[in-house]
Amino acid sequence: MRDFSYLRAQSPDEARRAAALPGAMLLAGGTTLIDLAKCGVAEPDSLVDITHLLGMDSIEAGAHGATIGALAKMSHVAEDAGIREHFPAVSEALWQAASAQLRNMATIGGNLMQRTRCGYFRDPANFPACNKRTPGSGCSAIGGVNRGHAVLGTSDACIAIYPGDLATALVAFDAVVHLGDRQLTVDDFFLLPGDTPDREHPIAPGEMITAISIPASPAARRSTYLKVRDRQSYEFAAASAAVGIEFEADGRTIRDLRVALGGVATRPWRVRAVEDALKGKVLEAETVRQASLLAVEGAVDHGANHYKIELAPRVVARAILKLGDAA
């Protein structure tokens, strides 16, 4: 890891100014950034520590919606009573992410900005070809070991998964990322790789996530996050689904449905085709299973990751039916 300078920012303006300088990076919990610096993927000239900025770790959640400061810790958000009551999928996504130690250290802003776990991306010494790390160098994963790679949203340049759990829940419920005065929906905050997989977010140097907000809705209130993985803890998703449902007065007909996939796409993946297919229908197992197949419309596998195309619709169906049982 090469030398870098360190600045403890005293105000958001100071942080933005310092982070806008070439070679500067924001430092929050450090659980991603320090790893990436150690393996030579991130090579900051200076780190701008934002963890001492006041007022950016608040959590306000209730029947009106939620606003979460970018410096709120994953564990604090997961256990917040308002989040658990009004946005259970968000709480469950956080509880199932990483480990207790990481959740106590890592922040919501840093979580959204985490980078892919593609092994080639994280091993520059042995795999120089990686378009995300070095534009134009090629992609070692296409034709390589790609069991954990994406089947949705891929391009000829990159097939890396976006690995985060929280953003999958946020995209299902139309959450908004606040960059100071500028706001972007979570859907717009994550870019498809296309020809420029190195560009993951439409943000400028020095822009900083200050908060996220989530609108309240009956579907968010009756929601869940189902994560299937190789082992039950401390593991990224093989496939996951954030689902929220609202029923008509009969308690069986679906009025509103939200579905997003994690662990299978290059970005958090909202699946409106499943939502549209089931709205207005009575919740029945076979109808749900058939509609859930639409979750992987357009999916492309690379051999070893074909299982994700079969797994993802099952995870979606199981999550929807679980919410139906709870009705």
Sign of the dihedral defined by the CA atoms of residues 179, 43, 50, 108, in that order: positive
Q: Is 26 in the site for ligand FAD (CB under 6 A)?
A: yes
Nearer to ligand SF4, 68 or 118 (CB): 118
158-187 footprint of ligand SF4 as x/- string (CB under 6 A)? xxx---------------------------
CA nearest 85: which of 220, 208, 213? 220
Q: Does 33 bind ligand FAD (CB under 6 A)?
A: yes
- 184-191 long-range Cβ contacts below 8 angstroms, 24+ apart: 186/112, 186/212, 186/268, 187/268, 187/270, 189/112, 190/162, 190/267, 190/268, 191/267
Residue count at the site for ligand FAD (CB under 6 A)? 29
User: Can you give the three-state secondary structure of 164-210, one letter per residue?
Assistant: CCHHHHHHHCCCEEEECCEEEEHHHHCCCCCCCCCCCCCCCCCCCCC
Verify binding: residue 193, ligand FAD, rule CB under 6 A. no
* Binding positions for ligand SF4, 106-135, rule CB under 6 A: 116, 118, 120-121, 130-132
Q: Which of residues 236-275 bind ligand FAD (CB under 6 A)?
A: 236
Q: Is 125 exposed, middle or buried (0-12, 13-18, 19+ CB in 10 A)?
A: exposed
Asked if 151 and 298 count as a contact pair (C-beta separation under 8 A), the reply is: no
Pattern 58-97, ligand FAD, x by CB under 6 A: ------------x---x----------------------x
Cβ contact 92:224 at 8 Å: yes
Near ligand SF4 by CB under 6 A: residue from 91, 114, 140, 210 = 140
d(CA 52, CA 67): 19
Task: Using the rule CB under 6 A, give the single segment among 3-11, 98-106, 121-129, 283-291 that binds ligand FAD.
Answer: 98-106
Q: Does 116 bind ligand FAD (CB under 6 A)?
A: no
Size of the site for ligand SF4 (CB under 6 A): 14
Partner touching 116 among ligand FAD, ligand SF4, none, CB below 5 to 8 Å by kind:
ligand SF4
- The sign of the dihedral angle between the CA atoms of 272, 262, 113, 195 is negative
Residues at the contact surface with ligand FAD, assessed by CB under 6 A:
25-33, 35, 70, 74, 97-98, 102, 105-107, 109-111, 113-114, 164-166, 208-209, 236
Residues at the contact surface with ligand SF4, assessed by CB under 6 A:
116, 118, 120-121, 130-132, 139-141, 158-160, 197
